[in-house]
Amino acid sequence: MDLGERLDKIWDRISDEDFLANKGVANEVRYYVFDYEPCDELVVREKIKALEKQNNKDADGFQIVEFDLYKIIIGILEERGYIDKCIKFEGTKGQDYLYNAVGKLLRLTNDDNLIVNHIVKNTPDKSVVFLTGVGKAFPFVRSHNVLNNLHQVLDKVPVVMFYPGRWNGQTLELFGTINDGNYYRAFPLVD
């Protein structure tokens, strides 16, 4: 199935009663991945905008809520006044130092992960969460870490990660070349 056909199936999938119930056969919380070739990023972004525009939360019974991981990171850095510091760190101490410093600031490996907290705090009931900006957020944020941490605290709504790369049901491969880690709890959004 080509990308256009897969994109056309998203609305039917996310508006399905079983999908919105957010529970699987064994009562597990459902997380989903929509993977695509990185070169199709702009097409996927346009489809997400169209789906958000199509969505009428009162008539549909749910609201699409998009969280762009990159925008969340930039927002946190701006809020704390760290944008200029990050630019200086990169220039004086290098990229690796910058990645580590930002990771510590975001508390990526802690239970108090600022990205996860932002998503949980801003997710209303009866919504479908779209996680986007995965490619833009790399290497600051690894998508499997976000999913693992989010999976532990957000179980009231379905979560769909739009992933520029490959996902084979167990391993995420960002841009089709970078092993982004194992994540086996998700399901394909559309086959």
The pLDDT value recorded for residue 42 is: 96
Separation CA 35–CA 137 (nearest Å): 16
Q: What pLDDT digit, counting tens, does each position of 136-179 carry?
A: 998 888 887 788 888 888 888 999 999 999 888 777 888 878 77
Q: What pLDDT digit, counting tens, does each position of 14-64 carry?
A: 999 888 887 665 666 678 999 999 999 999 999 999 999 999 999 999 999
Count the Cβ atoms, other than its own, within 10 Å of residue 88. 11
Interval 58-86 mean pLDDT: 93
What is the largest distance, in Å, between two alpha-carbon atoms of the chain?
54
User: Which residue in the block uniquely carries the two structure tokens 């490996």?
Assistant: 109
**What letter represents residue 59's amino acid?**
A
Note the pTM of the prediction, 2 decimals.
0.91
Q: What pLDDT digit, counting tens, does each position of 50-68 carry?
A: 999 999 999 999 999 999 9
**What letter represents residue 34's amino acid?**
F
- Alpha-helical runs (H) found in 33-113: 41-54, 57-60, 69-79, 83-93, 95-106
Separation CA 136–CA 167 (nearest Å): 18
The pLDDT value recorded for residue 178 is: 76
The pLDDT value recorded for residue 169 is: 79
Contact partners, residue 181, CB within 8 Å, separation at least 6: 142, 143, 144, 145, 171, 172
Quick one: pLDDT band at residue 3, thresholds 50, 70, 90? very high
Q: What pLDDT digit, counting tens, does each position of 115-129 carry?
A: 999 999 999 999 999
For the chain, first and last CA: distance in Å?
Answer: 8
